[in-house]
Structure 1
Amino acid sequence: MTGTLGQPQVNAAHYGYRVVWSAEDGEYFATCLEFPSLSWVAGTRNAAIDGLEALLNDVLEDMRAQGEEVPVPMSERRYSGTFNVRLGEHLHRSLAMHAAEERVSLNQYVSKKLAAG
């Protein structure tokens, strides 16, 4: 489905939302990963998400009307599974040594470490 100017029609519910409790405000604080400048504060988690999603729907509608490019939700983006990281020589050596000790490739070792968080 496409919207104005041939842009894909993006559903606001597909974006990445996060809700955290704000002890300072005594309310829930909702944010959107793809739109870091937007937020909504409300007394309940659901109200915070609902308020932010309604605001985002308005923002998306305005962006489309102005011919602006609408960001693709993170959940709908495609990833190759490959990225490059520059390391210092000492860290590179250390990682290679740990990988060798575990008898795995450096790539497997680093992937395992990243997945472990």
Structure 2
Amino acid sequence: MPLKNDHYTYRVTWSVEDDEYVGLCAEFPSLSWLAETPESALEGIRELVADVIKDMQDNGEEVPQAIAGKKYSGKFVVRVLPEVHRNLAIQAAEAGVSLNRLVSSRLSR
């Protein structure tokens, strides 16, 4: 049975290899659930996550926080090759925007 406060990030997609739908949970990347319908795949992965969380709690393990519940600053650092940095700086200058604005715009596409 799924958890009451189940705020985890789920996705259902088609698996060509398995010829079935697969349910996934971003916070538990090692888990998956195969089913004939997308609805069954979602229900299966949610129940599997609930079972794993119960086991983790019973063993005193830390349960992953839901991505939706985390706070994000909007800032992160990315290292790129110097040539890439130069090319991006040129493109930003030519567009009349800051490097930060150029890269942010590209990432949000």
Say which of 88, 91, 101 aligns to 1:95.
Answer: 88
Alignment of 1:1-117 (within 5 A): 11=5, 13-116=6-109
Which secondary structure does the structure 2 equivalent of 1:83 belong to? coil
How many residues align? The count is 107
Q: What letter matches 1:44 in structure 2? A: T
Structure 1 stretches of 5 or more lacking a match?
A: 1-8
Displacement of 1:89: 1.3
RMSD: 1.6
Displacement of 1:82: 0.6
Instruction: Provide the C-alpha distance between the structure 1 equivalents of 2:95 and 2:17, rounded to a whole number of angstroms.
Output: 47
Displacement of 1:20: 1.1
Question: Residue 65 and residue 56 in structure 1: after superposition, are their counterparts in 2 closer, same or farther (change >3 A)?
Answer: same
Which secondary structure does the structure 1 equivalent of 2:65 belong to? coil
Instruction: Provide the C-alpha distance between the structure 2 equivalents of 1:26 and 1:85, rounded to a whole number of angstroms.
Output: 37
Q: What letter matches 2:45 in structure 1? A: L
Instruction: Provide the C-alpha distance between the structure 2 equivalents of 1:17 and 1:32, rounded to a whole number of angstroms.
Output: 5
TM-score (norm 1): 0.84
Question: Residue 21 and residue 95 in structure 1: after superposition, are their counterparts in 2 closer, same or farther (change >3 A)?
Answer: same
TM-score (norm 2): 0.90
Runs of 4+ with >6 A deviation:
none
Question: Conserved in 2, the CA contact under 8 Å of 1:30 and 1:40?
Answer: yes
Displacement of 1:10: 7.8
